[in-house]
Amino acid sequence: MDDDTPTSDRDEESRPPEDSATDSPQSTEASRETDRPETDTADASDSSDPSSSSDTSDASDASDASDASERAESGEAVTAEDIDIRESIGPSDAEDGGVEDDASTDVSLDEVVLEDDDGDSRGLFDDLLSGEPIFENKEVLRPSYTPHELPHRTEQINQMATILVSALRGETPSNILIYGKTGTGKTASAKFVSQELESTSQKYDVPCEVEYINCEVTDTQYRVLAQLANKFIEKNFDIIENRLDRLEDLRTRVGESPAPLEDTSFDSVEAVEERIEQLETDREEMETVPMTGWPTDRVYSTFFDAVDYNERVVVIMLDEIDKLVEKSGDDTLYNLSRMNSELSNSRISIMGISNDLKFTDFLDPRVKSSLGEEEIVFPPYDANQLRDILQHRADVAFKGGALTDDVIPLCAAFAAQEHGDARRALDLLRTAGELAERGQADTVEEAHVRQAQDKIELDRVVEVVRTLPTQSKIVLFAIILLEKNGVRNINTGEVFNIYKRLCEEIDADILTQRRVTDLISELDMLGIVNAVVVSKGRYGRTKEISLSVPIDETEAVLLSDSRLGDIENAQPFVQARFDN
């Protein structure tokens, strides 16, 4: 076999989309903040910073405004509050020939464009940019960032490396299954090990590649095989190009004297030409797989040929592998796991990542034993470990002194309560920083973390409620209507009565009371309502239901559903409860 190797096996496209974090310029953040000038100002007045007080008299308005102008003229930061002050003293602006339409309360660009020393106009964004941001580099707190250091995962990383090192010796590594709850660093650790593996393989010139597939997105056998096939076809094109360049160069040199052939496996210029022709034919015959339309066995054989075109060890990383099995069974895994016995030049190994410990129960026993040759478990982080992880990231993400002492321990403690999820901890820290920045505070305080916790929790609730099936939404709406009308200790019968009327109103099927009881239990499991069974003595037992989420926000999400939005004037339904 030809020992040519591609110049660059590191195919950037093999990285998952979320892996392509780039340092975005500050302006991106600033522009995000400027989308919400009113909120910003409100937040600013909430902050403990005395300079943000909005309770100012006309006289102080005027002097503040001239302060602001002076600061603007001297190139100093002009805050959103300054902009407000300028608006509130419309008449003097008008005198200056500035704003003519003093009835307008919108912040138009004319109103906020100031001039700096050089006579350049200072716009909305300049003002926001000139503020001292809390963040040094916010990107490192985003999920897309792959950290270079993973505290408290050394053991798991070493385990993976010990198994995968055989790839660097040209042998087939055992398949690996990685388990652990969400946010325990499975993906980050696996990607870290893959990057190390690929860079070491380049250092020693051993053909070893890692292909990452997120099975939540690529969730059918066709798509997995097509994606892999196309990646390898692309790599093969590079390999062919490379080889052709070298052979054409050789052919030219051999034209002058046959000496260059001595160090090669070719014995004549004709042999070189034959090889060139062969490579050109290979290139023409390689056909990329369309995203739909081929029979699966053709996709499989295209992938097989593409992988086997060159000598290499390939590690296929299937993240969220349980989603693939759930959606399309274990055929893909079966096919991939038996490939090695048929491949002649290459070897493949599978690294599956899952946060569902039980998913292997659904696998064919042969697939199960082949896939689970090695198992690595990622336990949840405790609060101390989360603190270390946050500290490492915060050192890079925030400006020095931007965090008060309580911030990291509190974020760690909140996230430890949520099954030790590092993603949640990082989200909290980032959101707390954003809230502080929005409130124009100089430091991130404990209160920002608590606000961030509420915000994230609310976002989660909104998402859960938004994606509920319609019937569950109607049941939840019935509970909300009862609560809004001051009904305490709501029971299933009461919910059912309102539910029935709501269904009639929007023409939805009416489920039985038993089914509605089940839906209430599901809402309870999702943490949206709290349903406790209470004993009523000789009257038996009943469920007492109460809402566990903020009522107004939840109602707004429900009403944004086009079907429920049709319900007008829900009040009479509740009154009807007492008529029954």
Binding residues: 184-188, 381, 393
Alpha carbon distance 481, 472 (integer Å): 14
Both tokens assigned to 15:
């990285």
Q: Is 487 in the site for ligand ATP (CB under 6 A)?
A: no
* Three-state DSSP state, 559: helix
Q: Is 360 in the site for ligand ATP (CB under 6 A)?
A: no
Residue from 47, 130, 184, 194 touching ligand ATP (CB under 6 A): that is 184
Residue 566 neighbours by CB distance under 10 Å: 11
| Region binding ligand ATP by CB under 6 A among candidate stretches 287-295, 310-318, 330-338, 418-426 | 418-426
Question: C-beta of 79: minimal distance to ligand ATP in Å?
Answer: 33
- Residues near 89 by beta carbon (within 8 Å), at least 6 away in sequence: 58, 61, 62, 65
Q: Is 422 in the site for ligand ATP (CB under 6 A)?
A: yes
Residue from 90, 183, 207, 420 touching ligand ATP (CB under 6 A): that is 183
155 or 267: whose CB is closer to ligand ATP? 155
Question: C-beta of 211: minimal distance to ligand ATP in Å?
Answer: 17
Integer-rounded Cα Rg, in Å, for the chain is 32
**CA nearest neighbour of 138 among 33, 210, 271, 248:** 33
Alpha carbon distance 427, 423 (integer Å): 6
Show the DSSP H helices in 35-114 as ranges: 37-46, 58-73, 80-88, 90-95, 109-112
Q: Is 411 in the site for ligand ATP (CB under 6 A)?
A: no
Q: Is 151 in the site for ligand ATP (CB under 6 A)?
A: yes
389 or 480: whose CB is closer to ligand ATP? 389
Question: C-beta of 178: minimal distance to ligand ATP in Å?
Answer: 8
Residue 326 neighbours by CB distance under 10 Å: 14
In the annotated binding site for ATP, the residues are 184-188, 381, 393
Write phi, then psi, for 77 (nearest 5 degrees).
-65, 135
Contact of 456 with 432, CB cutoff 8 Å: no
Q: Is 391 in the site for ligand ATP (CB under 6 A)?
A: no
Q: Is 415 in the site for ligand ATP (CB under 6 A)?
A: no
Q: Is 355 in the site for ligand ATP (CB under 6 A)?
A: yes
423 or 484: whose CB is closer to ligand ATP? 423
Residue with tokens 């689970």: 372
Question: C-beta of 159: minimal distance to ligand ATP in Å?
Answer: 14
* Three-state DSSP state, 413: helix
- Residues near 97 by beta carbon (within 8 Å), at least 6 away in sequence: none
In terms of residues, how long is the chain? Answer: 580
Contact of 334 with 362, CB cutoff 8 Å: no
Question: C-beta of 575: minimal distance to ligand ATP in Å?
Answer: 46
DSSP assigned state of 323: H
Residue from 137, 182, 391, 542 touching ligand ATP (CB under 6 A): that is 182
Question: C-beta of 410: minimal distance to ligand ATP in Å?
Answer: 18
122 or 186: whose CB is closer to ligand ATP? 186
Q: Is 152 in the site for ligand ATP (CB under 6 A)?
A: yes
195 or 517: whose CB is closer to ligand ATP? 195
Question: C-beta of 241: minimal distance to ligand ATP in Å?
Answer: 35
Show the DSSP H helices in 74-104 as ranges: 80-88, 90-95
179 or 499: whose CB is closer to ligand ATP? 179
Contact of 333 with 350, CB cutoff 8 Å: yes
Distances (CA, A) of 105 to 42, 83, 150: 16, 12, 51
| Region binding ligand ATP by CB under 6 A among candidate stretches 96-104, 149-157, 362-370, 396-404 | 149-157
Contact of 491 with 536, CB cutoff 8 Å: no
Alpha carbon distance 48, 31 (integer Å): 24
Residue 560 neighbours by CB distance under 10 Å: 12
- Site track for ligand ATP across 430-449, x = CB under 6 A: --------------------
Q: Is 426 in the site for ligand ATP (CB under 6 A)?
A: yes
| Region binding ligand ATP by CB under 6 A among candidate stretches 91-99, 146-154, 197-205, 362-370 | 146-154
Number of H helices, E strands in the chain: 24, 9
Residue from 123, 131, 143, 379 touching ligand ATP (CB under 6 A): that is 143
Number of residues that bind ligand ATP (CB under 6 A): 19
183 or 352: whose CB is closer to ligand ATP? 183
| Region binding ligand ATP by CB under 6 A among candidate stretches 59-67, 150-158, 251-259, 412-420 | 150-158
Q: Is 195 in the site for ligand ATP (CB under 6 A)?
A: no
Q: CB nearest ligand ATP: which residue?
A: 185
Alpha carbon distance 58, 557 (integer Å): 41
Helix or strand (DSSP H, E) at 236: helix 221-256
| Region binding ligand ATP by CB under 6 A among candidate stretches 184-192, 227-235, 308-316, 321-329 | 184-192
Question: C-beta of 150: minimal distance to ligand ATP in Å?
Answer: 4
Give the sign of the dihedral formed by CA 301, CA 303, CA 307, CA 309: positive
Q: Is 352 in the site for ligand ATP (CB under 6 A)?
A: no
143 or 550: whose CB is closer to ligand ATP? 143
Contact of 400 with 438, CB cutoff 8 Å: no
Q: Is 214 in the site for ligand ATP (CB under 6 A)?
A: no
Q: Which residues contribute to the site for ligand ATP (CB under 6 A)?
A: 143, 147, 150-153, 180, 182-188, 355, 389, 422-423, 426
